[in-house]
Chains A and B, each alone.
Chain A
């Protein structure tokens, strides 16, 4: 269990889970953009090297 301080300093937000929003997952927003992303990654791949910390 995280402390209050850890929660306040975390970059992960506290999110309200709304079961009604599950319907949103079924419909892809902007499928043309998903296709564009797919085509870009297929063409140029992913970055080869991880950045150092």
Chain B
């Protein structure tokens, strides 16, 4: 996947990442974190803007810096970096708001043909997981590396 993406910095465990979005609103630092959810190796993907003054992370606002595709490409690359070190992990993601969930879905749809070569991707509708398809109204997402 050779789409433009930002340079990632990571903790030594490859669980926390930071990068800086550059756009018409200036420089916006962002953070990604993978947190273990349960004994089945499920990790939650958290993503948001970092307040440069307080250091707090906000996952509700959409910063509209004019680089959403590059930001999503960067988040996807963090997923690959994490899975490279945790090859059996499941990654769960959902937006803090319906708008952000929709944004994640748009990002997955945008890169689907490329990332589905290496990842099994599922979307949640009600009490079921379904193989991800474009234009379906999912509530959350789950992904895992395909068997090699």
Residues of A within 8 A of B (CB): 8-9, 11-13, 15-19, 21-22, 24-25, 28-30, 33-34, 36-38, 40-44, 46-47, 50-51, 53
Q: How many A-B residue contacts, CB cutoff 8 Å?
A: 123
**Which residues on the B side are within 8 Å of A19 (C-beta)?**
11-12
Interchain CA distance A32-B33 in the complex, whole Å: 14
Q: Which one, B20-28, B102-110, B123-131, is touching chain A?
A: B123-131
Chain A's closest residue to B36 (CB) is A34
Interchain CA distance A41-B96 in the complex, whole Å: 17
Q: What are 14 A-to-B residue pairs whose CB atoms are below 8 Å? A: A11-B1, A13-B80, A16-B7, A16-B8, A18-B11, A21-B12, A24-B11, A25-B33, A30-B57, A30-B96, A33-B96, A36-B94, A40-B124, A41-B40
B143 → A minimal CB distance (Å): 10
Q: Are A29 and B12 in contact (CB under 8 A)?
A: no
Q: Are B33 and A29 in contact (CB under 8 A)?
A: yes
A-B pairs, 10 with minimum CB distance: A24-B16, A21-B11, A29-B46, A13-B77, A47-B129, A37-B44, A51-B120, A18-B9, A37-B92, A29-B33
